[in-house]
Amino acid sequence: MSDWLEHTVQMEVEAPIDLVWSLWSNLEQMPRWMKWIDSVTVPEDNPDISLWKLKSGGFEFTWKSRIIKVIPHQIIQWESIDGLPNRGAIRFYDRHTSSIVKLTVAYAIPGILGKIMDSLFLGRLVESTLHADLERFKQYALQKKAEV
């Protein structure tokens, strides 16, 4: 039996929603700003499926995800269908000259082990990593905005 642990972080990015959406919706670019993501591959014949590889230190996890909801410029929601159990959503809020990016990630960890690990250190580690990922995304988006 697994417990699901969920974390949410958000950041304002001083870039228009069209740019923010176009960068984030190209899943294969995510390793540019997500520290633990080593690769994302989207099969040409099935763009709703993506193959993910996470690497950190001596750990490596893989999983296959399916996009379950897309509303352009608003939300991309996913769930894993094989491998590391996870699910989540990235939400976008248009502020005209800027955009709010809100990332929610949930993952399964077996029973009591998950609760202990989350309360001791895992939750803070995941949230600080996700926050740093959004900061890297913000810098990447600002760089792309300057190039236009």
Angstrom distance (rounded) from CA 142 to CA 124: 27
Residue at token pair 């990016």: 101
Write down the architecture of domain 2-25+66-145 according to CATH.
2-Layer Sandwich (3.30)
**CB of 72 closer than 8 Å to CB of 90:** no
- Look at residue 125 and give its three-state secondary structure: helix
Tens digit of each residue's pLDDT, the chain (148 residues): 567 888 999 999 999 999 999 999 999 999 999 998 999 999 999 999 999 998 888 888 899 999 999 999 999 999 999 988 899 999 999 999 999 999 999 988 766 555 666 566 666 788 899 999 999 999 999 999 999 7
Q: Where are the domains of the chain?
A: 2-25+66-145
| Alpha helices per DSSP H over 10-90 | 17-24
The dihedral over CA atoms of 59, 36, 86, 144, expressed in degrees to the nearest 10, equals -160
- H-run or E-run covering 90: strand 86-94
**2-13/37-41 β-pairing:** unpaired
Tell me the whole-structure pTM to 2 decimals.
0.87
